[in-house]
Structure formats: C-alpha cells, structure tokens
Structure 1
C-alpha cells in the first residue's frame, strides 16, 4: 500500500511539472510571436514592451545592438522585415529563463533594398514580473 501511494504521488508531481512547463512554453511561444509581429510592424511601443532593458541583440554579420539601437533600426527604415517565417522551433524553459531556437526565413527591405534572409537564431528570454522579455538574440548563417 505504501509503495502504491508513493508511486501515485510521484506520478501526480510529474504530471503537474509537465503541465507547468507546457504552460510556460506556451507563454514563451506567444512572446516570440509578439516579437515577430512587432518586428514586422516596426512599432516602437511594441518593441520596447517585449524587450529587456539590457537587450543584447546579435546579427549574423557580427553586429551587436543594445535595446535602443535595435528599436531605432527597426523603426527608422534601416532594418525592415516584410515577412518573417519561423520553423523548427524548440523551447527550453528553466525557471525564469527560456532558450528558443528556430530557423528564420523572411523578406527584408533594409534601407529600401529588397532582400531575402534565412538564419538560425538563438533567443534568450527572461521572465520578470510575470512577463517574458527578450534578453538576448544571436543569429548565424545557415
């Protein structure tokens, strides 16, 4: 009887843990979609709201931007996304930190020049005051 009770309690805890991870993964997925929409829209308020004040945003070219420069370039025409398609996305949540990997394919119009991009991306998200914020991003050429 005692072994059965321990087994039942253990299974219940594992189920609750899996459900909690699933809930956080869903919240991170939503944050990624909000970031994607804000980048396409080029909306300053949305970009400011989804990114951490200490953002470290790395491009595949080696260029590194802080939050101010990231937002400025997406709102002044230097970096324009006409479309962004994400695939092969994986999410790992550990406490209040999440790592997201995906492939980003999109159409750009940086400084008015039409182009295509296909990159591997690693995003680092942190949860503060109940909200997931982008803290870091590093892209690499595929």
Structure 2
C-alpha cells in the first residue's frame, strides 16, 4: 500500500513540475511586447489606474524636448489632456531581456494635441522595463526627435 501512495505522490509531483515550467526568454519578450502595447493604448485613451499599474513608482519619463516627469506628472499629463496622443504607431521595435530588466527600442510616430495644439511627433524611444512581482513595469523612458 505504501508503494502505491509513493508512486501516486511521485506522479503528482511530476505533473506539477511539468505544469510549472520555467519562463523562457521568448515568454518574457512576449510579455514585454504585451506591456508595451498596453502602455501605447493607455497613452491614447488614458485611464489613471491603468497607467499607474503599468509604471513603477520610480518612473523617470524623458521627453524629446528635455522635460523629465516622475510617475505622478506622467500620469497627470495624460489624464488631464495636457499631453494628448490622438494616434501612436510603433515600428522597428527590438526587445532585449536581461534577467528582470528589458530594454525596448522603437520608432514612434503619431498625432498629438498637447494643450489643444495639434502636432505630429516622430521619435526614437528607449524604454526600460523591470519585472516586479511577475509583472513588467516601465522604469524609464527617453525619447529623441528624428
């Protein structure tokens, strides 16, 4: 009888190990890709809770004009409409994951209406994401005009 219990336990443990396979670099890249897309959508249609959930408390958000915002200023600018993306297209994206940090580079083009003034942006962007409690969150961003 002990033999059957031991065998059943071993089989159960084996199944659990198979189900809990470790994340692969491809899994992390896919998760970062999804996080970038969530951020893109949240910047077009701002929601305070969504934006706050996507970024770290230590956020350093650098604009192409030299202005740097913390988390509160970044969220407020989008939610208030002071920074208003009407459209945002991301191209030429690359993602490099090192441990719990991901570097994302892409080109961003879009239409804006900052403080009610229509404009267009064309930027090269570097995003630094960190994995916190299993979720990828934006730690830093820097943009330059192209």
TM-score w.r.t. length of structure 2: 0.84
1:25-80: CA deviation from partner (whole Å, max 9, x where unpaired): 00000000000011001111110010000000000000000000000000111100
Q: Which shows bigger deviation, 59-68 or 19-28?
A: 19-28
1:71 to 64, 69, 75: 75
* Partner Cα separation in structure 1 for residue 128 and residue 62 of structure 2: 11
Paired residue secondary structure (2:59)? strand
* Partner Cα separation in structure 1 for residue 122 and residue 25 of structure 2: 29
The answer for the alignment partner of 1:29 in structure 2 is: 33
Paired residue secondary structure (2:24)? helix
* Partner Cα separation in structure 1 for residue 55 and residue 136 of structure 2: 9
Paired residue secondary structure (1:79)? coil
TM-score w.r.t. length of structure 1: 0.86
Structure having the higher Rg: 2
Unpaired segments ≥5 residues, structure 1: 1-15
CA RMSD of aligned residues (A): 1.4
1:43 to 43, 47, 50: 47
* Partner Cα separation in structure 1 for residue 129 and residue 27 of structure 2: 15
Mapping of residues 6-25 of structure 1, within 5 Å: 20-25=24-29
Indicate whether 1:107 and 2:120 are aligned.
no
Unpaired segments ≥5 residues, structure 2: 1-20
Paired positions, count? 126
Paired residue secondary structure (2:83)? coil
